[in-house]
């Protein structure tokens, strides 16, 4: 494990400090260097720091005269020994998985900065902060700098809620004596990084106390420093990113306007000097057409500050009502999504077929086309009336993904562009499972997604799509470094339970899998079957018996084979087992595990697929590294649920909302 250094600047936070430090020491990632910088605290914070250092060898303490937040962070940086470094303010606190999650993202994606979302806390909440299924994005340092000057400014500006390679901070210091030290510094570190990973998971809690720098009202000096930081950002991008001069100058204008109003309110004679600064910034902004309106407003304010300020106040007062009207309008005009789905099969009974069936059911009220390589029999072959199913052999889609040789060149460069025009429709979403045909060059769509389905994508394939749609967080290694989004398939309820034809033991363990090699856990089943305290009911297809199974499993006294159970029979087996046991080593999603989360008393499995969602731990789940030793007593203590668990995060409605959010068509 790589050492992670945690720098904690501390000043007058005696009441909040234990929660902060306890959250760091309780991290699931243990290889830490915790540097507590007592910045001349007048309260008992320094004594608390010494107590933590005496109790835990990972903790180091620096006592110094008050030098401000910049001075405290700089002192901590001088002592950093870790490969990674992160910063936590003394009154904030971390989710227990903060370090492990960000280190995992940094290592998996080979990125130099890993970033998470943070929650603004204005009071002391009773519990922790949780997020929905996270999305993961990979960016270059240039892209991160671009977002820094966009709507995600605050996410990129604050120094905490990020894990940095320590080497990025070489020669870098926070500015002494400045209040908005993050705004002077973080953007430079971001731009040094070659790759940055961002997760939407909320792992950092950012307390804004009424008496703190961030929680209290802005002062004149605070606004002065903020404007100076914006000016420093403008100077920086003028030298290396001329395309960002417009957004940077626009931000500086807003800071200068706020500073001037504060100076006027305080009757400060420096107000006139700020108007001169504002005129110079507006002159620069005029050269950027996309910001011309801001430039004109700034020039008008510089010439007639009082009446323009009055007009700006009136405009600001009207904005909440305007936003409320816009929200109501969006809610009343929700439209159907136009979706093109590419799949290997329609029908059948496997995970891929079930995924397609559940997606189509979730989009039953939308405008959906499906292109399939083969049609199979079975209940999953039935689709909603609004769904149109096409064969890949149809002229509109024939060989759309073929790209080999002269024939491939003609299809990709001539036939597909012609077909995309003749179709005359543009889809909101193209959703392709890896087994489905490649249609992206033959159809136009606002967003294109590919689902790896448990197989690693090549960079060439992943790069053709807007996002790699991961079915579970641990699928990140399948994405080949492409942009990713979490999109768990919708979990439809199984039909009414019906007892299987075979006689069942009064108590049993349940497992459901076809043994396509060791990855599905056949070796582990061999290990467990003799030691299990209860008989094991193994559901699989009839073809399983045609595989080269060990003879000991074919007729084992502690193993009952149930071939090709119908969905209602499966539900009965889940609801009446003592626990569901998954022996699988890897899953793209894990449909049988997801069903067990809904219906079974308990689940025993490795941390794979659907179980890597934090929400899954609200169910009785025992995560194991292997099956040499299993806590059978824990299994026996779990009670059957009175009714199926809700699992709202896997609902059809949640799936559709995620698709709508991706296309900007969310209600």
- pLDDT tens for 521-549 read 888 898 899 989 999 999 987 766 666 67
Confidence label for 563 from pLDDT (cuts 50, 70 and 90): confident
Give the C-alpha distances (Å, rounded to integers) separating 598 from 61, 321, 351, 557, 594.
48, 43, 17, 29, 7
In the chain, pLDDT over 70 holds for what percent of residues? 89
Query: Tens of pLDDT along 236-262?
Result: 998 888 888 888 888 898 888 888 888
The CA distance from 132 to 155, in Å, is 18
pLDDT at 331: 44
Given a cut of 90, whether residue 315 has pLDDT beyond it is no
Residue 131: pLDDT band with limits 50, 70, 90? very low
Q: What is the CB neighbour count within 10 angstroms for residue 58?
A: 16
Determine contact, residues 440/350, Cβ cutoff 8 Å.
Answer: no
User: Per-residue confidence at 209, pLDDT binned at 50, 70, 90?
Assistant: low
Mean pLDDT of the chain: 85
Query: Angle CA(524)–CA(526)–CA(532) in degrees, nearest 5?
Result: 90
Both tokens assigned to 149: 């000057």
Question: 139-153, 383-397, 585-599 — which one is most confidently predicted on average?
Answer: 585-599
Q: Give the span between the Cα atoms of 117 and 137, in whole angstroms.
A: 12
Contact call for residues 144 and 193 (beta carbons, < 8 A) = yes
Separation CA 601–CA 599 (nearest Å):
7
Work out the pLDDT band at 402, boundaries 50, 70, 90.
confident
pLDDT > 60? residue 607: yes
> What pLDDT shows up at residue 51?
96
Q: Work out the average pLDDT over 345-361.
A: 79
List of residues 6+ apart from 109 with CB closer than 8 A = 138, 195, 197, 476, 481
**Residue 385: per-residue pLDDT:** 78
Structure tokens at 597: 């989360």
> Rounded to 5 degrees, what are φ and ψ at 512?
-135, 110
Residue 214 has pLDDT above 60, yes or no: no
Supply the pLDDT for residue 210: 52
Q: For residue range 15-58, what is the model confidence (pLDDT) as tens digits?
A: 999 999 999 999 999 999 999 999 999 999 999 999 999 999 99
Query: Please, are residues 368 and 360 in contact by the beta-carbon 8 Å criterion?
Result: yes
Q: pLDDT confidence of 364, banded at 50, 70, 90?
A: confident
pLDDT at 123 over 50: no
Decide if pLDDT at 640 tops 90: no
Q: Which of 518, 536, 540 is CA-nearest to residue 528?
A: 536
pLDDT band at 477 (very low <50, low <70, confident <90, very high): confident
Q: What's the pLDDT band for 667 if we cut at 50, 70, 90? A: very low
The C-alpha atoms of residue 225 and residue 235 are separated, in whole angstroms, by 15
User: What is the average pLDDT across 99-109?
Assistant: 93
pTM above 0.85, yes or no: no
Calculate the alpha carbon distances from 250 to 271, 311, 316 in Å: 20, 19, 17
316-336: average pLDDT:
58
Mean pLDDT value across residues 473-490: 84
pLDDT of residue 59: 97
Judged on CB neighbours under 10 Å (0-12, 13-18, 19+), 413 is exposed
Q: What is the pLDDT of residue 580?
A: 96
Q: At what angle do helices 305-332 and 245-265 cross, to 10 degrees?
A: 120
Over the range 368-405, which residues count as b (16 or more CB within 10 Å of their CB) and which as e?
A: bbbbbeeeeeeebeebeeebebeebeeebbebbbbeee
Phi, psi dihedrals of residue 470, rounded to the nearest 5°: -85, 135
- The pLDDT of residue 9 is above 60: yes
pLDDT in tens, 253-296: 888 888 888 888 888 888 889 888 888 888 887 777 666 777 78
Please state, in angstroms and rounded to a whole number, the distance separating the CA atoms of residues 655 and 667. 13
Tally of CA atoms within 13 A in the half-sphere of 234 that contains its CB: 21
Query: What's the rounded mean pLDDT across residues 558-562?
Result: 92
């Amino acid at each position: 494990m790589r050492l992670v250094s945690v720098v904690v600047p501390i000043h007058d936070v005696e009441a909040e400090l234990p929660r902060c430090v306890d959250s760091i020491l309780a991290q699931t990632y243990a290889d830490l260097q915790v540097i507590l910088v007592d910045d001349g605290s007048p309260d008992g914070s320094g004594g608390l720091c010494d107590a933590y250092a005496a109790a835990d060898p990972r903790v180091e303490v620096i006592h110094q005269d008050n030098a401000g937040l910049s001075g405290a962070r700089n002192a901590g940086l001088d002592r950093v020994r870790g490969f990674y470094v992160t910063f936590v303010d003394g009154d904030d606190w971390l989710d227990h998985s903060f370090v492990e999650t960000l280190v995992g993202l940094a290592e998996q994606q080979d990125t130099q900065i890993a970033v998470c979302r943070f929650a603004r806390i204005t009071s002391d909440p009773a519990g922790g902060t949780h997020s929905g299924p996270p999305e993961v994005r990979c960016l270059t340092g240039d892209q991160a700098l671009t977002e820094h000057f966009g709507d995600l400014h605050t996410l990129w500006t604050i120094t905490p809620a990020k894990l940095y390679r320590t080497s990025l901070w070489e020669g870098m210091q926070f500015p002494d004596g400045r209040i908005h030290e993050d705004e002077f510094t973080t953007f430079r570190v971001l731009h040094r990084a070659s790759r940055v990973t961002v997760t939407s998971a909320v792992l950092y809690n950012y307390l804004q106390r009424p008496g703190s720098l961030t929680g209290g009202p802005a002062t004149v000096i605070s606004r002065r420093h903020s404007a100076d930081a914006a000016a420093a950002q403008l100077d920086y991008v003028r030298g290396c990113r001329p395309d960002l001069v417009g957004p940077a100058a626009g931000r500086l204008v807003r800071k200068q306007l706020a500073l001037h109003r504060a100076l006027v309110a305080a009757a400060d004679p420096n107000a006139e000097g700020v108007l001169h600064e504002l005129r110079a910034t507006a002159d620069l902004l005029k050269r950027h057409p996309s910001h011309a309106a801001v430039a004109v407003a700034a020039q008008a304010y510089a010439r007639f500050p009082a009446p323009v300020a009055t007009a700006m106040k009136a405009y600001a007062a009207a904005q909440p009502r305007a936003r409320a009207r816009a929200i109501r309008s969006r809610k009343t005009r929700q439209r159907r999504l136009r979706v093109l789905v590419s799949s290997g099969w329609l029908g059948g009974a496997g995970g891929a077929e079930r995924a397609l069936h559940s997606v189509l059911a979730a989009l039953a009220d939308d405008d959906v086309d499906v292109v399939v390589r083969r049609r199979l029999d079975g209940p999953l072959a039935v689709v909603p009336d609004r769904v149109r199913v096409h064969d890949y052999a149809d002229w509109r889609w024939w060989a759309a993904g073929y790209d080999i040789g002269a024939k491939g060149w003609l299809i990709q460069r001539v036939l597909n562009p012609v077909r995309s025009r003749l179709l005359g429709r543009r889809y909101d979403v193209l959703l392709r499972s890896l087994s489905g045909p490649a249609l992206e060059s033959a159809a136009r769509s606002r967003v294109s997604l590919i689902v790896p389905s448990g197989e690693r994508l090549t960079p060439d394939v992943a790069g053709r799509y807007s996002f790699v749609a991961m079915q579970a967080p641990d699928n990140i290694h399948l994405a080949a470094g492409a942009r990713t989004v979490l999109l768990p398939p919708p979990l439809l309820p199984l039909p009414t339970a019906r007892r299987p034809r075979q006689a069942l033991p009064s108590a049993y363990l349940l497992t459901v899998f076809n043994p396509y090699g060791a990855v599905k856990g056949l070796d582990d089943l061999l290990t467990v079957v003799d030691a299990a305290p209860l008989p094991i009911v193994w559901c699989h297809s009839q073809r399983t018996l045609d595989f080269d199974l060990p003879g000991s499993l074919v007729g084992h006294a502690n193993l009952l084979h149930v071939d090709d159970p119908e969905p209602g029979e499966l539900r009965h087996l889940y609801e009446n087992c003592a626990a569901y046991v998954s022996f699988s080593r890897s899953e793209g999603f894990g449909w049988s595990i997801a069903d067990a989360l809904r219906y079974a008393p308990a689940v025993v499995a490795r941390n794979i697929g659907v179980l890597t969602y934090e929400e899954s731990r609200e169910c009785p789940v025992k995560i194991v590294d292997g099956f040499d030793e299993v806590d059978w007593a824990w299994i026996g203590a779990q009670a059957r649920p009175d009714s199926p668990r809700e699992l709202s995060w896997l609902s059809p409605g949640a799936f559709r909302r995620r698709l709508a959010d991706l296309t900007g068509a969310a209600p």
